Each structure stands twice: as C-alpha cells, then as structure tokens.
C-alpha cells in the first residue's frame, strides 16, 4: 500500500486516490503507487483514479527535472492502463494540469466536477507535454482545437472540455460518489470507450492548410519563443504520423526543448515567483493584519490605478483628493477605464457596476480613520509627503499600516514624521497600476515583519506579484534601468538612432524598446530626474527642450500618428547628428551585440551592487521584478539570468572594457562580480 496512492476496493471498482499534498504532483512515489495500484486491481471491472485534497493533479514534479528519470515513467503507467482489461476512469476536480491531464487522457474515460480546470501548461515552462498529451488530445478533439490548448498553455474549464469532447461527463455533487455511480452505470449499460491512442476519427482528413493558418495565428504572439513552435510540430505529428511515431516525435521535441536555455529561463522564473514569497528573516508564522478597507491619498495617474486594483479584487477603497475638481477628474478616469474594458467585452456591465460601487471618493482626510491600510500616491515631493504622513499618523487608527507609492524617496525619512515608523512601508506600484503585476514592497529600517507581511498579503489579494526590496533611490527596477539611460544617450551620440536600439531590444524579446518606453512614460519625467540629480543628457535634454515629451505630445523619440503608431522622425535624427557634431563625436556603425551589451551590462552591474547592499535578497528577486514590471520576456529569464548564461568572467571583462572605452567609471565591475567571476560562481544556482 503506497503512502502516496491510496487503494480502496469498492465491489467491482477499485479506487486509486493520489495523495501527495498540496497539489498531487506526479513524483516518483505517485507514479510507482499508480503502477502498483493498477497491477493490484487485476481482475477488477473498473479502476477510478481520483485526487485527494484540492485537485486531481498539477502535473510533473518540477524539482525532479534534470535529475535523471526514476522508473516507472508516466508512459509505463499509461501502458498499464492501455492493457488493463477493465475500464479506467479519471475523476477530476480542481486542477488537472500537464502530466495530470495527460494521465487522465490516457484513461478510457474522464469525468469532472463543474468548474474543474484542465490544461497543458508545459509550453509556459519552455517545453512540450512529454507524456502523450500532444498525441492524445488531438485524437479526442481534433488538431486545431488541441493546438489552442497546447500552444497557449491556457487551461479550459470542465464544461468547455465536455463541449470539446475530451471529458465524458460533468458530475454534480461529491465527486468520488458521483464518479462511482457513473462508472457502475457505464459498466451496467456496457458502454464502450475507445482509448485516445486508438482513435483516428477526429484527425482523419485534417485540412493541412487550415492547420497551418491556425498555427500561424497562434504563433504570431510567440515571437522568438521556441516552445510554442515545438507544440505545433508535436500536434502536426499527431495528424501526420501513426500514434507510436507521434509519441517518439513528441519525446524528441520534449528532450530538446527541456535542455534548452529558454526552458531553463522559464523554470527559473516559475520557481522564482514562488521563491520571492519567502522573505528571508521573516518568521514563518508572521500573520498579516486583516485589510477590509483601503484608503488611497491622491487620485492621479497612480492613485487612480491603485484604487481600481482594490475595487477589481473586491476590496472597498476610498480615494482622497485635495479638491472636488481633482477628485471628480480622478474618479472619472477610473470609470472611463472600466467602461473601455466593458466596451471591449472583457468586463461585464454587472461586474463594472459592482467594482464602481466599491470605489468612493472624498476630499476630507478624516476618512482615513476608517482605513485598515493607507497608500499615499501624491506627487513626488518629500515635504508634501511628510506633511501628509504626519496627518495620516494622526488620523489613522493605531496599528494601521501606512504605505507610500514613492518611486525614489527615502521611506525612512517619510516614516520619521510618524509615531509608528514600524508600520510604514513602501508599496511601489508600476504604471498602469491596475494592469502591471509587479509590486515592490519597500522595507525601511523600522518596518516590522507584520507591516511587510500585511503589504504582501494585500498585494497578493489584488493580483500583484509582491517582491520585498530595500530602501534606496529607485529601489530595484528603476535603480537598474536608471543605469541604462546614460548608455542609451552615449549610443545615440556615437552612431545609433532610436529605432536601431528599440529594434535590437525588441528582437531580443522585450515588450518595448527603451526609447519607445520613454515616450510612453513621458520624456519630461526623465528630464526632471536628471535636473534633480544634477546630471545631463544632451540629446534627451534637446528633445525635451524642443517640446517633445513623448506620446502625450505626439512627438518624442518618435513621431506618433492618431493611432499612436510610432514613426521614425528625421527631426530627431537631425537633433542627434547636430549634438554629436557639437560634441565632436565621429559617429560609427554599432553592431547589435554591442547595443545589447551596453544596455544590459550596466543593469547587471547595478544588480550586483543591489545584492551586495541586500536591497534585493536574491538574484532571482531581481529577475522576477524585470519579468513582471519591465516587459522582460520570461523565456529570457531576466537580466541576472542573462549574466549567468554569459558567464560572470565574461561579464566582468566586458564591463571593464566598456568602462574604459565609453569613459564610464560606473561600469567598473562591482565587487560581487569580481568575486563570483574569479570563483567561477553564478548569481543564481544552475538549473538542470
């Protein structure tokens, strides 16, 4: 009797219950338990496979990857199912994902609870389903419908799975009982179930032109990513090859992709997003304070977006503005934003109304007394923030966390004007705050574990990925990208045009190049930061002086038409050439590799300093920040992952090279890079 698969005989049916909490991954002991259970059920008329706890199975145990396979493999378990003389039924509740769904697909029949979620998310980890999913699913529902599921990795609900035809029934009530009744009934009526492997009716006569058209549509969004292409090829094999050959093709694609850099990157981020939730030094039993009502101070760009995030996730929120005019403007912007979502069909009218009801406004600060947590999002000015925090401290109940959304200011200084510095933290959202998933939670000197835990729990509740960072100018993300800007300016002076730089970074996989991003954020903001820091950037400053603030003035690094299409602008080229001439710089051709290195290496160097200063707990925290807040493609793994792939000795040498050739003392390799390079070390542990 296996500890991980419980075996129960109920008359003619044997029940095998996967019990590997919390999500029933198919670790070695589970596979062995299933094999033993099926063997022990010899002679039974039916076997019912079900999951204990939250769901059926979330799939393969990712920590077993790269460690060499221990038998039995899933395929061996599936072969036992295929040769089992009776009926094998999978009963699914919660999640059946990846290998979990493949197990169900290998059974004779599948039943599920309403709302159960079925999917093959392997593509998101950088590989293809490797246990027959790409061969069996098309045989059950047709190649084009299967591609939708396999290439996107998006799960479907039981009801949709039933309509598509890869489950046989949706059963109300307690699943095990309902599935037993269903199975007995199937036996009684002598229902016939054909294994997916033996079916050809859904794939016979597939129109390959339609297949290619469907594949092209799905791959359009995948750009440089390898696994979606692999998924298409695997499904193609299901249509063009006999089952066993298709399986072999799937296995070969799996082996190739899983060993590749993109899959390593995706798994690095997948584990990283779980790792960042473990905050070093925070006792495991730290309980967050309950937050049932939030107050946001300021209904500008950020305050409005933050307030929407609360309402979107069912948390009542009040925004406070200075006067009725500013308040109405802020609330109207939130409403308009929701209305656009309704118009585009992504939000129902009823949901819009219930969200809008949760968002209220006031010009009276005293509403802060009702808050369980306050987030300040007024403009970036230390004196103004201090005035507001002194007042918040006076008005908010004792024990309530006070957070600032500042991008650059010192949280310790803000906390110092309160009598509760232990409850003051930064909650740094990214614009647009109702859309961007990243939330940097800034731990100041006095911030308590409870305050940090409260901010993290709240972040999670409103759909954010919260990463705890230390208190410094720019925190992690902006501090690192800030080090890229001087190199952008220098590249423009030395030979690049904005479109060259953006093209290279977008070809690398970034959602948007740095100059297009600047246009979106507003070039005046960067100029204000430079003024405050006493630095200059001749070309960028000249653009701002010419009134080119970016998209909001329809002109920045590019010109913009009514549809906000960016158009390279000869006027910008003229400004660039004039400035270079004034600075007596002889422009040259700069290759793509140099562009990549000069934009990435300064960020990596600053990332290393951030680690030295414990502003970020781990390199993975930095990578997770870039993937969730800066449009870095997950399949590239983030800047620190990039550096590890390059090798830190190379990183050190290239930094030293550019420090000298571009006269940038800042690019002198950080001490941590020197140390790791000399030891043959890495920022993050190597992944199998």
Query: Could you say whether residue 439 binds ligand NAD (CB under 6 A)?
Result: no
CB of 472 to ligand NAD, least distance (A): 15
Of the residues 102, 273, 440, 597, only one is catalytic, namely: 102
Cβ nearer to ligand NAD, comparing 8 with 381: 381
Q: Residue 465 in 3-state DSSP?
A: strand
Q: How far apart are CA 33 and CA 48, in angstroms?
A: 14
Of the residues 122, 440, 489, 494, only one is catalytic, namely: 122
Query: Could you say whether residue 442 binds ligand NAD (CB under 6 A)?
Result: no
Cα dist. 70→32, 66, 126, 356, 521 in Å? 10, 11, 22, 54, 51
Q: Which long-range contacts (CB under 8 A, 24 or more apart) does 528-536 make?
A: 529/408, 529/482, 535/486
CB of 280 to ligand NAD, least distance (A): 25
Instruction: Compose the 299-318 pattern: x for residues touching ligand NAD by CB under 6 A, - for all others.
Output: xxxxx---------------
Angle of helix 619-629 versus helix 261-275 axis, rounded to 10: 100
Which residue in the shown chain puts its C-beta closest to ligand NAD?
A: 300
Query: Could you say whether residue 427 binds ligand NAD (CB under 6 A)?
Result: no
Cα dist. 105→123, 137, 687 in Å? 18, 7, 30
CB of 371 to ligand NAD, least distance (A): 14
What stretches of 546-670 show up as alpha helix (H) in DSSP? 570-582, 592-612, 619-629, 639-646, 648-661
Query: Could you say whether residue 480 binds ligand NAD (CB under 6 A)?
Result: no
Q: How far apart are CA 277 and CA 80, in angstroms?
A: 40
Cβ nearer to ligand NAD, comparing 377 with 625: 377
Query: Could you say whether residue 378 binds ligand NAD (CB under 6 A)?
Result: yes
Query: Could you say whether residue 320 binds ligand NAD (CB under 6 A)?
Result: yes
Query: Could you say whether residue 431 binds ligand NAD (CB under 6 A)?
Result: yes
Tell me the window of 143-151, 249-257, 426-434, 468-476 that interacts with ligand NAD (CB under 6 A). Answer: 426-434
CB of 374 to ligand NAD, least distance (A): 11
* Binder among 407, 448, 664, 684 for ligand NAD (CB under 6 A): 407
Element (H, E) at 529: helix 523-533
Query: Could you say whether residue 379 binds ligand NAD (CB under 6 A)?
Result: yes
Q: How far apart are CA 440 and CA 426, in angstroms?
A: 8
Instruction: Compose the 326-355 pattern: x for residues touching ligand NAD by CB under 6 A, - for all others.
Output: x---x-------------------------
Task: Decide if 328 is catalytic.
Answer: no
Both tokens assigned to 281? 């030094």
CB of 76 to ligand NAD, least distance (A): 53
Q: Kindly list the strands in the beta sheet with 424-429, ordered across the sheet, starting from the edge strand earlier in the chain.
A: 359-362, 317-320, 294-297, 373-376, 401-404, 424-429, 438-443, 465-470
Report which DSSP code applies to 206. -
Element (H, E) at 429: strand 424-429
Query: Could you say whether residue 631 binds ligand NAD (CB under 6 A)?
Result: no
CB of 300 to ligand NAD, least distance (A): 2
CB of 521 to ligand NAD, least distance (A): 6
Task: Decide if 122 is catalytic.
Answer: yes
673, 682 contact by CB (below 8 A): no
Residues that bind ligand NAD (rule: CB under 6 A) add up to a total of 24
Cα dist. 634→129, 421, 447, 546 in Å? 19, 36, 31, 37
Query: Could you say whether residue 469 binds ligand NAD (CB under 6 A)?
Result: no
Q: Tokens 């002076």 appear where?
A: 493
User: How many residues in total does the chain contain?
Assistant: 688
Q: Which residues are catalytic?
A: 102, 122
Binding site for ligand NAD (CB under 6 A): 297-303, 320-322, 326, 330, 377-380, 384, 388, 405-407, 429-431
């Amino acid at each position: 009797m296996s500890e991980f698969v419980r075996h129960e005989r109920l008359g003619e049916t044997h029940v095998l219950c996967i019990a590997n909490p919390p999500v029933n991954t198919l670790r070695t002991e589970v596979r062995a338990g299933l094999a033993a259970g099926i063997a022990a059920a010899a002679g039974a008329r039916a076997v019912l496979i079900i999951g204990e706890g939250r769901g059926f199975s979330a799939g393969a145990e990712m920590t077993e990857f790269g460690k060499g396979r221990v038998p039995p493999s899933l395929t061996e378990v599936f072969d036992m199912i295929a040769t089992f003389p009776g009926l094998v039924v999978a009963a699914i509740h919660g999640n059946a994902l990846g290998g979990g769904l493949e197990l169900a697909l290998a059974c004779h029949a599948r039943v599920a609870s309403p709302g159960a979620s079925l999917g093959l998310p392997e593509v998101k980890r950088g590989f293809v389903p490797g246990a027959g999913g790409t061969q069996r699913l098309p045989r059950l529902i047709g190649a084009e419908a299967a591609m939708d599921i396999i290439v996107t990795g998006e799960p479907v609900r039981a009801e949709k799975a039933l309509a598509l035809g890869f489950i046989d029934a949706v059963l109300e009530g307690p699943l095990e009982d309902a599935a037993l009744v269903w199975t007995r009934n199937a036996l009684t009526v002598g229902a016939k179930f054909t294994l997916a492997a033996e079916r050809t009716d859904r794939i016979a006569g597939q129109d390959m032109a339609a297949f290619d058209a469907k594949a092209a549509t799905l791959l359009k969004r995948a750009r440089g990513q390898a696994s979606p292409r692999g998924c298409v090829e695997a499904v193609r094999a299901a249509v063009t090859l006999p089952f066993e050959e298709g399986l072999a093709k799937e296995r070969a694609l799996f082996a190739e992709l899983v060993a590749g850099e993109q899959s390593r990157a995706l798994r690095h981020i997948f584990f990283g997003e779980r790792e960042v939730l473990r905050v070093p030094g925070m006792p495991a039993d730290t309980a967050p304070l309950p937050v049932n009502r939030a107050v946001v101070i300021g209904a500008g760009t950020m305050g409005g977006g933050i307030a929407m995030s609360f309402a979107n996730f069912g948390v009542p929120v009040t925004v406070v503005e200075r006067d009725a005019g500013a308040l109405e403007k802020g609330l109207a912007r939130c409403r308009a934003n929701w209305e656009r979502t309704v118009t585009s069909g992504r939000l129902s009218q009823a949901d819009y109304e219930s969200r809008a009801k949760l968002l209220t406004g006031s010009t009276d600060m005293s509403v802060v007394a009702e808050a369980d947590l306050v987030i300040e999002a007024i403009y970036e000015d230390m004196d103004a923030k201090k005035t507001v925090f002194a007042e918040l401290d006076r008005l908010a109940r004792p024990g309530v966390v006070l957070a600032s959304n500042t991008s650059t200011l010192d949280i310790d200084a803000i906390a110092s004007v309160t009598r509760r510095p232990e409850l003051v933290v930064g909650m740094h959202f990214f614009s647009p705050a109702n859309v961007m998933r990243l939330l940097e939670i800034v731990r100041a000197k006095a911030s308590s574990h409870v305050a940090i835990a409260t901010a993290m729990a709240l972040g999670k509740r409103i759909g954010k990925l919260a990463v705890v960072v230390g208190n410094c100018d720019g925190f992690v993300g902006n501090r690192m990208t800030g080090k890229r800007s001087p190199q952008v300016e220098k590249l423009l002076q030395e030979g690049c045009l904005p479109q060259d730089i953006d093209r290279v970074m977008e070809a690398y996989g970034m959602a948007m190049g740095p100059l297009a991003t600047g246009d979106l954020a507003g070039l005046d903001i960067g100029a204000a930061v430079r003024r405050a820091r006493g630095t200059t950037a001749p070309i960028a400053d000249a653009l701002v002086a010419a009134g080119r603030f970016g998209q909001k003035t329809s002109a920045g690094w590019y010109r913009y038409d009514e549809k906000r299409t960016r158009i390279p602008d000869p006027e910008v080229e003229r400004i660039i050439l004039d400035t270079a001439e004034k600075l007596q710089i002889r422009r040259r051709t700069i290759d793509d590799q140099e562009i990549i290195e000069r934009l990435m290496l300064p960020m990596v160097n600053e990332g290393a300093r951030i680690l030295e200063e414990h502003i970020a707990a781990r390199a993975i925290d930095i990578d997770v920040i870039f993937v969730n807040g800066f449009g870095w493609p997950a399949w590239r793994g983030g800047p620190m992952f990039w550096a590890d792939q390059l090798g830190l000795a190379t990183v050190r040498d290239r930094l030293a090279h550019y420090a000298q050739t571009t006269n940038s003392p800042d690019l002198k390799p950080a001490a941590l890079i020197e140390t790791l390079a000399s030891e043959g070390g890495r920022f993050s542990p190597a992944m199998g």
